[in-house]
Structures are given as structure tokens and as C-alpha cells.
Chains A and B, each alone.
Chain A
């Protein structure tokens, strides 16, 4: 367990707690975006190696020596695209929330009981 992975884990749990306990739809989406950030922190912390630098080669960090001096580039690459997708998905969810609000003039999740049994 590294330090950053603990932070990410706690953020995931807090976000899930928020999603499950809150009634306001916007708050639920905020909980989702907290989970998003937590997962990104978790993935980036997997690739970190203590004391090594960013994987960009220049006149100080030579090609031949790069293997011993850089962190893992793959988690960075995965998270980078995941952040952009996260924005688009959050926007889509918010638009649905706005649409639901226009139907019922309410954002309380308990007012939407069409699918309840």
C-alpha cells in the first residue's frame, strides 16, 4: 500500500457513500466525479517508482539511460484519456439530470418513482 493509493481508495469510498446516501441528483453526480478522481489517483500510483522522473527524453535524460530513470508511462497514458472521457460522461449525466428536472420540477431522486415496485 502506498500513500497515494490509500488517498485514492478513501476517495472512492467517500464518493460511493455520497452516491448512496444523497437524494439530490446533482449531488449523486458529484459523488460519481469524486469516485472518478479516486480511481485516477489509484492507477497513477501504480506506475510511480520512488526517486524517478517523468518519461520525457531530453539532453539531461539520455535514451540509453532512460530505463533506469523514468517512471512507468503506461498508467499515465491510460489515465490521460480516461480524464477526458470522464468529462464527457459527466456532461451527459448532467444533461439527463436537467431533462429530468424539466419533466418534474424536482431534483429529488425519491420523486422519480416510475421504476419502483
Chain B
């Protein structure tokens, strides 16, 4: 049972990793990278490490995505309207 769940989660994680690398839109890549962390936190919970699961869910998929989005916002906002 647990093995089945882990296999499914692993396949989704690896697929999102490829998506994160090959997506044309940078925003989609960032979200896909967040999905990897979120699914990893479920695997930690199945591996009997609830402390790590909490940390990964809060940091890996929450704050890291926010930090990426702030950086993305800075990079995108300038390039389009004003070069100066």
C-alpha cells in the first residue's frame, strides 16, 4: 500500500522535475518546482519523519516559491516596459 503511494508520488515528482526544466514559461517552472517539494513532504510523512514533513511543506513549497516569485517579478517587470 505505502509502496504504491510512494511509486505514484515519485512518478509525479520526476515528471514535475522535467516540467520545471523544460516548461517555456518561467512561472510554470517555478510552480512545478513547488509541486516537487509539496509531494516530497508527503513522502517524508510516509517515512515516519513528521518534523521534516512540516519543515518541507512550510519552507520548500511555501516560502521558496514566494522567494522565486519575488525574483521573477523583478526580472519580468523591468524587461518589458522600460529599459533604463
Contact = CB atoms under 8 A, between A and B. Distances in A.
B75 A41 contact: no
A3 B10 contact: yes
Contacts, number: 133
B21 A24 contact: no
Contacts of A17: 21
Going nearest first, the 10 A-B pairs with the smallest beta carbon separation are A18-B21, A7-B10, A94-B71, A14-B17, A76-B49, A48-B47, A54-B48, A71-B48, A91-B67, A30-B33
29 contacts: A3-B7, A3-B10, A4-B43, A7-B43, A10-B14, A11-B13, A14-B14, A26-B71, A30-B29, A30-B68, A33-B33, A34-B20, A34-B33, A40-B56, A41-B43, A52-B48, A70-B48, A71-B48, A75-B49, A76-B49, A76-B51, A80-B52, A83-B56, A83-B60, A84-B55, A84-B59, A90-B64, A94-B67, A107-B75
Interface of A: 3-4, 6-7, 10-11, 14-15, 17-18, 21-22, 24, 26-27, 29-31, 33-34, 37, 40-41, 44-45, 47-48, 52-54, 56, 70-71, 75-76, 79-80, 83-84, 86-87, 90-91, 94-95, 97-98, 101-102, 105, 107
Given A14-B17, A48-B47, A79-B52, 4 more contacts: A3-B6, A7-B43, A44-B47, A86-B59
